[in-house]
A and B are shown apart, each in its own frame.
Chain A
């Protein structure tokens, strides 16, 4: 069957309708917000809309029970008083500007809401409300009823610090202010008209410079001193050590010159240095605010669960679950702890954990792992272990997650030798000058330390990596930090997960074999599958796109078997062969369709491999990467995989989460540098253990496990280009190192012979920084163009 991609544009906002496509009033909408707006324009009265909607959503009752619990409420609310509360809510369904409109007019829906402020990029909103008129639970129901169910998970209430971006922009602002003004005040000196000025002016400008440099030095530059101090305390010379040293010497010598009136100092160089360094830091600190790289298991689990307490059902925070507690899981809820089933049967979907969408039938007394999702009626469970000790979460608590890999970057490795070299040069030239003219020692030694300050060196890596992050981000490959770009260059082994990584998670290829179906049979089939929640029937339903839907009688879905329906006088069955045909053959991979127990045909649902996969794997093996595959699935597709991906060194199937983790560990013990690509929670351990873990996501703002980078599904096949890019980018860093060393050699030779004047320093230091920045940026962009990124 061929999948035809069709672009549908939203009736309201004109954006392309992607994952959730809503058809309303015979028009297409990309999200609930657009549909709501459309309705609003029809009715032009927000209250009416809400009232009509609220009535139609009885299923929301009970869903947010846990928000009545005061302890949970206290954790969630940012501010609480008798008539005013503030809460930050994650609303993942925010999609376009219409959503902002609807949400910011929430006070029109309900009088209890005072004000809403949406942050579009973070898909979050700050809601001010009056708890006397609307409780938190009602607020959540209100939001769900208009299509924005707020998301609460166990990680809530333990996060939210002030963003780092602001602090750095403040520092840059201050440094830029000081730098600019000092430059202006130093202009007479640059132009050489100093001699014509009166001595008073000279002194006045110098003192003003001294005054202006103070905020730049003590406010903007302080973190370099802190970082250098921390590094030295750990017995480690990082790049900030020579920088801090150069800055300190610059400051002391300039202050001395100004106060003793022996010169005008190097305040312009100092302020410029701090300014450029901070710009580099800011460039490198590009953050993807809407992405989250640090999710742990807490983000996956619900905030609270219903506990049976005598005759009552009370919501309790999952942290308080203890062994022996009886809990109730409703339809589509996630099981928060390893437990034993007390109800007669359950239908557990572990897709959340394994990435494989296949519901498993469980019987009374069976052991159910945390992370499964119940599909069907409510079930009762008895908790075996606290959430923090369940099978999945224990993976997180293993050492992998506690001591995060601490790698030394290339620049920090160099800086040790660099610092030693500077000191050697300073001492040697001091000794040299001692014999010629001892009065010059102080001048020369400080000049060496000033001019050697590795500003350009410190800028080359941040700018190259920052540029790399931007270019990769443009191609929907988002790195957590600039260090990841460097780590990527060291990788030599690539491990792929199967489901969701090299296959698309949503798309499947449905093939039919058997006698050709009549159109009425197709319509019946569509009618049967339309009402089913089983993932396989959903896919069959999706494959019957152009078929008219037929209403069927006596629809019945039997868990673990299939669907039964009556049409006319015939009984149709869809499901396993033993059920649909009454034979004993076991065939897990096919779905059988029968009429009065006579076979009509069978469906095979197979994975849909990403286009371009074969080429990418070929390219990667040409680049001498070891390629491996770990799959949680069975062997079913081994042959297909061997066929399309012959370069894979090994393929392992039926891998449990800890198998994957241990496999990566064993590779690392053989000194492989492992890059792992995976999607689900089942890969989380392995992703974190590997040197670079990349989470694959169809929608990058959706859930993804803790990782070093997030890649959008469709970009996975560009991996070989990405790796080529980072490898080449490393060469750019090295080339820019060479450039900055050359500048240093020039500067040092002037310093050693005692010719370093303030003007010379003021020109040389920014010039070297600008050259390096321009070089890395231009080279990086040219490279991207060459690789077509």
Chain B
């Protein structure tokens, strides 16, 4: 039965980990603006494509 002591303590540590993640998320401002990121997510693709294109261009220029 005494294994329960260990298990409960372990579960507390895990739960505490989640709590601290939550606190970190609030403090780092992730809940400040919930609207804009939903729009921003749609735009990222184009940028990456551009970077890729640039990388490719660089590769072509300096094949070494």
In the complex, how many angstroms separate the beta carbon of A221 from the nearest chain B beta carbon? 17
CB neighbours of A122 from chain B (8 A): 33
Cα–Cα distance between A117 and B35 once the two chains are bound (Å): 12
In the complex, how many angstroms separate the beta carbon of A27 from the nearest chain B beta carbon? 21
In the complex, how many angstroms separate the beta carbon of B48 from the nearest chain A beta carbon? 13
A100 touches B1 (CB 8 A): no
Cα–Cα distance between A117 and B33 once the two chains are bound (Å): 11
A181 touches B39 (CB 8 A): no
A121 touches B15 (CB 8 A): no
- Interface readout for A163-196 with B: 1 if CB under 8 Å, 0 if not? 1011001100110010001000100000000000
B15 touches A177 (CB 8 A): yes
- Interface readout for B6-34 with A: 1 if CB under 8 Å, 0 if not? 00100010010011001100110101110
CB neighbours of B31 from chain A (8 A): 165-166, 169
Cα–Cα distance between A589 and B58 once the two chains are bound (Å): 71
Cα–Cα distance between A108 and B43 once the two chains are bound (Å): 14
In the complex, how many angstroms separate the beta carbon of A119 from the nearest chain B beta carbon? 5
A166 touches B36 (CB 8 A): no
Given the interface pairs A120-B35, A208-B12, the reply to whether A173 lies near B5 with Cβ below 8 Å is no
B36 touches A120 (CB 8 A): yes
Give the residue name and chain of the B residue nearest to A122 (CB): B33
Q: Tell me, yes or no, whether A432 is within 8 Å of chain B by CB.
A: no
CB neighbours of B12 from chain A (8 A): 181, 208
Q: Tell me, yes or no, whether B3 is within 8 Å of chain A by CB.
A: no
- Interface readout for B34-45 with A: 1 if CB under 8 Å, 0 if not? 011001101100
Q: Tell me, yes or no, whether B4 is within 8 Å of chain A by CB.
A: yes
A119 touches B33 (CB 8 A): yes
CB neighbours of B26 from chain A (8 A): 166, 169-170, 173
Select one of B1, B29, B36 contacting A118, CB under 8 A.
Answer: B36
In the complex, how many angstroms separate the beta carbon of B21 from the nearest chain A beta carbon? 10
Pair count A-B, CB < 8 A = 55
Residue count of chain B within 8 Å CB distance of chain A: 22
In the complex, how many angstroms separate the beta carbon of A117 from the nearest chain B beta carbon? 8
Cα–Cα distance between A185 and B1 once the two chains are bound (Å): 16
CB neighbours of B4 from chain A (8 A): 201
Give the residue name and chain of the B residue nearest to A124 (CB): B33
A198 touches B1 (CB 8 A): yes
Q: Tell me, yes or no, whether A101 is within 8 Å of chain B by CB.
A: yes
A101 touches B5 (CB 8 A): no
Give the residue name and chain of the B residue nearest to A97 (CB): B39
A208 touches B8 (CB 8 A): yes
Q: Tell me, yes or no, whether A366 is within 8 Å of chain B by CB.
A: no
CB neighbours of A163 from chain B (8 A): 32
- Interface readout for A109-120 with B: 1 if CB under 8 Å, 0 if not? 000000001111
Chain B residues at the A interface, C-beta cutoff of 8 Å: 1, 4-5, 8, 12, 15, 18-19, 22-23, 26-27, 29, 31-33, 35-36, 39-40, 42-43
Can you sample 15 A-B contacts with CB below 8 Å? A97-B39, A100-B39, A101-B43, A104-B43, A119-B33, A119-B35, A119-B36, A173-B19, A173-B23, A174-B19, A174-B23, A177-B19, A177-B22, A181-B15, A201-B4
Chain A residues at the B interface, C-beta cutoff of 8 Å: 97, 100-101, 104, 117-122, 163, 165-166, 169-170, 173-174, 177, 181, 185, 198, 201, 204, 208
